[in-house]
A and B are shown apart, each in its own frame.
Chain A
Amino acid sequence: MATYIVQVFKLFERIWHWSQAASILLLLFTGFAIHGVHRLISFETAAWLHTLVAFALLLLWIFATFWLFTTGQWRHYIPTGKNFIQVAKYYSFGIFKGDHHPYRKTFRRKHNPLQALTYLLLKIVIFPAIWISGIAYMVISFGYGEGLSDMLGSATVPLIHTIAAIAIAIFIIAHLYLLTTGHSFIAHLKPMITGWDEVDLTDEEAAFLIADERNHIKPRDDMVVHCESEPKKS
């Protein structure tokens, strides 16, 4: 096993990530304006922009879901117990002692187990909560959801929507903070901009990528070769 510079985030993934990030920030800003948290823009502008951006994000999510399943990339999000404890321990203790992050990106696992679980929850719980409640709210607010609001009570849908929004805001705070836990903030951020990151590859994977995916791997003869595949701790 050796470390290579591999393009872990494809162009679509990066476009997805950043346009999703921009959309979510805009949605949080306009959403909290609608909720009355701030008045930096008028309610009308906020409601208009919020709906518009929500439509755009939904469209993006349709593409992203399609991409995840057609490329098989969805497998990165399957929960795993492997190394879970080590990563959790690292964030709770090891990080203060100056330990190195116990997890190394592999070809089949570009996220550490905590990350994978978080993103999975985001994808199957929080995001559906926001878009299902959002669409329901939109239908009601457009005057076509009378039966729906009668059934759920007029406050239920906005309540779920707001709770999900708060969860997303919390995710963003944690997400940004965790960027600081690597070598550096920039080092963590860079792969999502350029796509390239250090990844541990088995010889077979490396051979395959070098042979078939020449645009997505930088073969480095001079690269430091790690002898141990993973640091083992007690």
Chain B
Amino acid sequence: MNGQPGTQQMIRLKPKQQDLSSRHIIGLLAGIFLAVNCSLAQAEHGDDPKIEMGITEYKKTHEEHSKKAAEKKDTASTTDHSKLKELEGPFNSGPEVTKACLSCHNKAGHQFTKNKHWTWRYKHPETGQELGKGVLINNFCTNAKGNEGMCAQCHAGYGMTDIDTYDFNNEENIDCLICHESSGTYYKTPTSSGNKACSVMFEGKPPLDWTKIAQSVGDPGRNNCGKCHFYGGGGDNVKHGDLSSVLFDPPKAVDVHMSTEGEDFACITCHVGEGHDWAGSRYEMLVHDDKGTGKPGAPREVASCESCHGTRPHSNTDIIGLKLNGHLDKVACETCHIPTIAKGGVATVIDWDWRTMGKLKNGEGFKLKEYTQGDGHHRATYKSIKGNFKYGENLKPRLEWFDGTMKYTTIDTKFDPAKAPILINGFDGAHDDPDSRIYPFKVMHTTQPYDKGNNTLVYMHLWGNDDVALWGNYSFDKAIKAGMERNGLPYSGEWGFIETLSYWPINHMVAPKEDALACGECHANDGRISHLKGFYVPGTGRTPMLDTIGLLAVLGTAGGVLGHGALRLMASRRRKK
């Protein structure tokens, strides 16, 4: 663990430096804002101030993941990379490190250039749709396309500023370190500068020690995956609901697999694969795995629950276990075993309203932090650059029939605005489809801009050091026009707001078994699957005709015998007179 104390020290410096820089900017403003800012520095400690000036994003990301890095365990690897002469360095840039990596791992470069983390493109094998981060529109920040400068911080390559011109064949641009370094000191910054209002975002970071970072490589840990995937959509747990910074070190109640009190799994324990191709796609999901554990000793090839737990995971020797096993042809494991998401104190965004984007205080963007989440941190309920947010914690996922195939509303999909909310991603599934399962989702609701004339979604130009980027200029007019034109897309010139929904399949934050859903959560007439119609579920009151006839029959019989008895009584009294 050489060098770790130093790492810690550098990390601790960061917040102070950021405070200083923000204080410097705000010092230019009126005294009242200075007061606000001073208390701002305390915001992280759970004290009041709801207003934060500036438009800093991803402030916490690197601090969070770095904290955990110090606890990296020794591995049983046959190679200590810090002792390799190829990694002696000195290195002064990422591509230099990559070159060194590829000099030994001579197939890794070719392998990785096929990977979604590099291509940002994905052709759906079922629907044929061209998907991937490079083209998709979501209902968070909307589009990475055209905003690579900011978004490519999570591209596993160096210097992608424009997906159309980027050299995807240059293997030396692959960023091996983002996934493989374990020093905890590695970070990425925007690949191009944004508006001056955004420049403050990444100030005050310590310089990268490329050599030390290169020597720290190993299998990806949760810090590597987490620093992008836990912060998707614009912040901690904003996007998924089941992937948050809590998973860096979760209590068992949050995640039995990842907790140190549980199995202490890294992401790659389940997301298995070979040759830089690994399991676990949200575009084409495996909603049921009939193969299960496979043959003894056979390697797992999928990230399914069944691949470890088998296809009849509950006890086959007790009644409830048998009954639970009987559910597997209709219900996904996650449905019962992830009863709630956004656990452990970090909230997820459930509603995003872009309509209020652009309110400023004295000409400056700001955040209003009026949601205090479980861990005491204040979350922005308003950001000048993004609009309003609503949060949820310990949410019950939405349950739907799902066949595993996601269908997207892409930039060229025309829709009928009257049918809003528009599904960013929709899917099929039915109770009588043997490939469908009842599956949990986080549902994201957003009100976002669309092309009113062409009835399509729009790309927005969010990031750029120019006078049209939304972030800094706060004009939908300009940002949409630039976003569409720069990508050669038809734009009617008229835009409006439309409601959209996106569905995020839930697989993480598996609860301890004692916290799994009780039967009565679904087997009830106001239960979790009451909205799923057309099939019989005991306990849900789905046979109203039978129930009515049955009740009448029972009451009729009771009435009949009572009437018979009453007549007997009357007759016997009359006889006695």
Contacts and interface: CB of A to CB of B under 8 A. Distances in A.
Interface stretch (B268-276, B397-405, B519-527): B519-527
Interface string A171-183: 0011001001100
Given A174-B557, A177-B564, A162 B540 contact: no
Nearest to A156: B536
Contact of B557 (A36, A146, A170): A170
Given A34-B539, A154-B535, A166-B550, A48 B320 contact: yes
A140 B326 contact: yes
Given A95-B568, A141-B323, A43 B520 contact: yes
B325 interface: yes
Interface residues of B, number: 40
Interface in A86-125: 91, 95-98
A52 interface: yes
A69 interface: no
B322 A142 contact: yes
B28 interface: no
A34 B571 contact: no
A158 B312 CA distance: 23
Interface residues of A, number: 38
B541 A36 contact: yes
Contacts of A140: 326
A44 interface: yes
Interface in A57-108: 91, 95-98
A143 B546 CA distance: 25
Nearest to A175: B561
B419 interface: no
B546 A163 contact: yes
Interface string B527-552: 00000000110111111001100100
B565 interface: yes
A42 interface: yes
B73 interface: no
A101 to B, nearest CB: 13
Contacts of A91: 564
Contacts, number: 103
A97 B573 CA distance: 10
B85 interface: no
Interface of B: 312, 319-320, 322-323, 325-329, 431, 518-520, 523-525, 535-536, 538-543, 546-547, 550, 553-554, 557-558, 561, 564-565, 567-568, 571-572, 575
22 contacts: A34-B539, A36-B538, A43-B518, A43-B523, A43-B524, A47-B319, A47-B323, A48-B319, A95-B568, A97-B575, A142-B323, A143-B326, A154-B431, A154-B535, A154-B536, A155-B543, A158-B543, A159-B543, A163-B546, A166-B553, A177-B561, A180-B565
Given A48-B320, A173-B557, 13 more contacts: A34-B539, A37-B547, A39-B524, A42-B519, A42-B520, A43-B519, A47-B519, A141-B323, A143-B325, A143-B329, A159-B536, A177-B564, A180-B565
Interface of A: 33-37, 39, 42-44, 47-48, 51-52, 91, 95-98, 140-144, 146, 154-155, 158-159, 162-163, 166, 169-170, 173-174, 177, 180-181
